[in-house]
Amino acid sequence: MTALTGIEYAVFLQAKEQRSNFGGFEPLLMPGFLFGFQQYLVDYAVRKGRSAMFADCGMGKTPMQLVWAENIVRKTNKPVLILTPLAVARQTVAEALKFDLDCRRSAGVIEPGAHIVVTNYEKLCHFRPDDFGGVVCDESSAIKSFNGKRRAEVTEFLRTMEYRLLCTATAAPNDYIELGTSSEALGELGHMDMLNRFFKNDQNSGVMQGGRGRWQKGYGQQWRFKGHAEHAFWRWVSSWARACRKPSDLGFEDDGFILPPLIENEHIVQTRTLAPGMLFAMPARDMREEREERKRTLQERCEMAASLVADTEKSAVIWCHLNTEGKLLEKMIPGAREIAGSTPDDEKEEIYAAFASGELRVLTTKPKIGAWGLNWQHCSHIVTFASHSYEQYYQSVRRCWRFGQKNPVTVDLVATEGEAGVRDNLRRKSEAADKMFSALVSHMNDAIRIDRSEKFANKEIVPSWL
């Protein structure tokens, strides 16, 4: 066997990397209403053909995905389908009207001459992939939360689509499984293939830590990076995605994209009803005790939440996690309205619209119902109950605390003494999410070079090994 030279071996290793090629085309439209960093992201996504855009709340994912879709329409002479959570569809159409782009909402019928068709994920079964030149999954992080049937339906619909775009603000806040879900939807590695390539499974580990190189939980198992695989993993993610929490992550100025202060308060409720056999409140030891604590302290917690939005004319949103919480809050707060899972879709959209316009002052709902995609910069007061889900907490806060918000945003977290473990877990996940996103941006910037001398500040993309 002939020995390889250093250069030949380097080429051999590069060939073994799981990195995809560009399968798109040079943009046919790049409107001036996009900021420089937005033009860069759209340019990348169009040239890539199939990619993910992990841009934070308020950075303009809607106009970016609309421009991407219009490019695909002009290339393929077919309409593009945008899938969104319920109520975000109406918002997307309104944004398209602002920028004079043809965008129509549909529940299953494609109007003749339509360029961009918007529908919610629940209506996907009424469409055929062959009728479209491309598809956008807005708030794509929600895909992993769908039941198995709907997740498989979305993946199958995307499977034969030449042009695909995933857009979300939070890419895997506490684990890397979501990145596998996104990769699979784009036709890259499946989530289990991703885990097996870059991670090692240890069934005996009882530790679950978020963050760089630590153990990650995935489908009931524990995963950690294989030796020296972390850099290769992020290089691979950077081959099909771009991520930023602010323009400077991509080398642009942050002018106009500076968030106002976020004021986070904790309100510890003194429980009137103690657990059986207890003389004073004790932290819950497991999920069962936490559920019992929430049910037992329902009245006290809702009284606290209601008092925080009383005696003020300001808009407020209250995020709850139990149906009983939402119903009780609606009774306690004059003029408040609840959106529950059982609320008819038309009524949900009516309530969302009333809250967004300021006609409704207080809205109460669950994060899993309304925490994705909606823009509520008019509201600067959030009340939420404690939860283990950092992603739900992050998304619920970012409905209001987003670029375009002009006032400081107050977040009031209501919890009992028994939920101390829940609060600690949420803080740990927040720190882990920041570390993970920072790692993604760092490795991405290492893989690309941005020259801001021309147009939208992008001249060339050069691999760092060159």
Question: What is the maximal distance between C-alpha atoms in the chain?
Answer: 82
Residues 269 and 390 in one domain: yes
Residues 51 and 22 in one domain: yes
Identify which of 58, 78, 51 has the alpha carbon closest to the alpha carbon of residue 167. 51
Count of structural domains within the chain: 2
Asked whether residue 312 is assigned to any structural domain, the reply reads yes
pLDDT score at 285:
62
**Residue 325 above 70 pLDDT?**
yes
pLDDT: which is higher, 170 or 208: 170
Asked whether residue 221 is assigned to any structural domain, the reply reads yes
Residues 127 and 210 in one domain: yes
pLDDT score at 277:
55
Average pLDDT on 305-323 reads 92
pLDDT score at 213:
42
Q: How confident is the model at residue 10 (pLDDT cuts 50, 70, 90)?
A: low
pLDDT: which is higher, 169 or 394: 394
Residues 160 and 275 in one domain: no
pLDDT score at 201:
80
The whole model's pTM is what?
0.80
Q: 458 near 43, Cβ under 8 Å?
A: yes
Asked whether residue 160 is assigned to any structural domain, the reply reads yes
Residues 295 and 411 in one domain: yes
Segment 29-70, tens digit of pLDDT: 999 999 999 999 999 999 999 999 988 888 999 999 999 999
Residues 242 and 266 in one domain: no
Identify which of 242, 172, 246 has the alpha carbon closest to the alpha carbon of residue 212. 172
Residues 212 and 314 in one domain: no
Average pLDDT on 81-100 reads 90
Asked whether residue 376 is assigned to any structural domain, the reply reads yes
Alpha helices (H) in 170-266, listed in sequence order: 177-185, 191-198, 230-238
**Residue 407 above 70 pLDDT?**
yes
Last residue of a domain, one of 256, 280, 303: 256
Average pLDDT on 248-254 reads 89
Last residue of a domain, one of 256, 276, 296: 256
Segment 269-297, tens digit of pLDDT: 887 776 665 645 666 566 777 778 888 88
Asked whether residue 57 is assigned to any structural domain, the reply reads yes
pLDDT score at 218:
41
Asked whether residue 50 is assigned to any structural domain, the reply reads yes
The whole domain housing 169 covers 6-256
pLDDT score at 465:
43
Segment 111-130, tens digit of pLDDT: 888 999 999 988 999 999 99
Asked whether residue 388 is assigned to any structural domain, the reply reads yes
Residues 329 and 411 in one domain: yes
Last residue of a domain, one of 240, 256, 272: 256
Residues 237 and 281 in one domain: no
Residues 167 and 287 in one domain: no
* Residue-averaged pLDDT of the chain: 82
Identify which of 172, 146, 210, 227 has the alpha carbon closest to the alpha carbon of residue 437. 172
Residues 206 and 291 in one domain: no
CATH number for position 152: 3.40.50.300
Q: 303 near 368, Cβ under 8 Å?
A: no
pLDDT: which is higher, 432 or 174: 432
Residues 43 and 154 in one domain: yes
Q: Is the dihedral of CA 295, 300, 304, 306 positive or negative?
A: positive
Asked whether residue 456 is assigned to any structural domain, the reply reads no
Angle between the N-to-C axes of helices 191-198 and 230-238, in degrees from 0 to 180, rounded to the nearest 10: 140
